Amino acid sequence: MLNPTVVVFPYGEINISSQLLLYKTHLNHTYIVTEETPFHPVSHIWPDHPADRGELIIDEQIFTVTDCVVGAIDRTGELFIGADIPVKREEAGWQFVVVHQIDALIELRPSQTVMLRVDKDYQDSLSRAHSGAHLAALALNKVLHQDYWRKQPDRNDELGHHHFHRYAEETSFVSPDTCIDTYRLGKTLRKRGLNSDDVVTNLTVIEALVNQQLAIWLVTQAEIKMVCKGPYLTDSRYWTINLDATEICMPCGGTHINSLAQLISLTVQLKLDQAGQIIMTTQTKATKAA
């Protein structure tokens, strides 16, 4: 029986050797699964955080990883990739794995060694944006909490503020040093108690307050830690940080920076699009390496 892929990216590992678990060729691609990987794959269910980039070194030949996705292996050893996966994560008899795609047809030997090397600069730029987006969402919830709800909704966030982000978020896209979140201000949200019209009217003020809050958090240089319930891709992982003297712990499968000291700036821009949705663009800038 195979195990799910052991993932080492939560620990900042970017360069490892591992044994081949299985591979499959299709058209001009070879899909390679190893026992362990430092590559963060894109999720087919919630594709907010793009796949890592990097290289595989096989028998001293270097191959660019052109995509990295989640795969699932059934009892017979058949590999299903991304959207072709027919089952949910808990399905008995299935193992979820990280699939590295290279654009070449190659043959591999059972259990042979593969070297995996992640493009650290690219991964770091995504990690900054993803951590920045979590902070931006918490700041937005905090700013809206006081003056923009006329009744209390069921859900509060980790800081005890009404969870606008959870209720209204439609999509989220992480890219290098930028994350774009889209929020829908629909009827449901209004029913839950949000004064949507006030939010729209005061968007510029809200943006300024969110940026003020982010600046306050940034100077704390708070540590960020990923807490993993186990070594495998499918084990729950949590993003943790201490803000406003509160231990925050939220489920997140992405890659992250390990301290706010890694950011020299973190800002958001709030805009209304033509469909009446709020677009929050979070931008991060790396502290120059010493």
Kindly report the three-state secondary structure assignment for every residue of 103-139: CCCCCCCCCCEEEEEECHHHHHHHHHHHHHHHHHHHH
Q: Is 114 in the site for Zn ion (CB under 5 A)?
A: no
Nearer to Zn ion, 172 or 202 (CB): 172
Size of the site for Zn ion (CB under 5 A): 2
Q: Which two tokens stand for residue 254?
A: 């992405």
Query: What strands lie across the sheet with 224-228, from one edge to the other?
Result: 224-228, 237-243, 246-251
Nearer to Zn ion, 25 or 281 (CB): 281
Q: Which two tokens stand for residue 117?
A: 């090397």
For Zn ion, which residue has the nearest CB?
Answer: 252
> Strands 6-7 and 36-37, how do they pair?
parallel
Q: Which helix (H) or strand (E) holds 277?
A: none
Minimum CB separation from Zn ion for residue 49, in Å? Answer: 7
End-to-end CA distance of the chain: 47
Nearer to Zn ion, 105 or 227 (CB): 227
Minimum CB separation from Zn ion for residue 90, in Å? Answer: 21
Binding residues for Zn ion restricted to 199-258, rule: CB under 5 A = 252, 254
Helix, strand or coil, per DSSP, at residue 212: helix
Minimum CB separation from Zn ion for residue 130, in Å? Answer: 6
Minimum CB separation from Zn ion for residue 222, in Å? Answer: 16
Nearer to Zn ion, 100 or 165 (CB): 165
Q: Spell out, one character per residue from 250 to 269, where the chain touches Zn ion: x when CB under 5 A holds, - when not.
A: --x-x---------------
- Quote the CA–CA distance of 27 and 262 in Å, as a whole number: 42
Nearer to Zn ion, 41 or 254 (CB): 254
Minimum CB separation from Zn ion for residue 254, in Å? Answer: 5
What amino acid occupies position 274? Q
Nearer to Zn ion, 38 or 254 (CB): 254
Residues that bind Zn ion (CB under 5 A): 252, 254
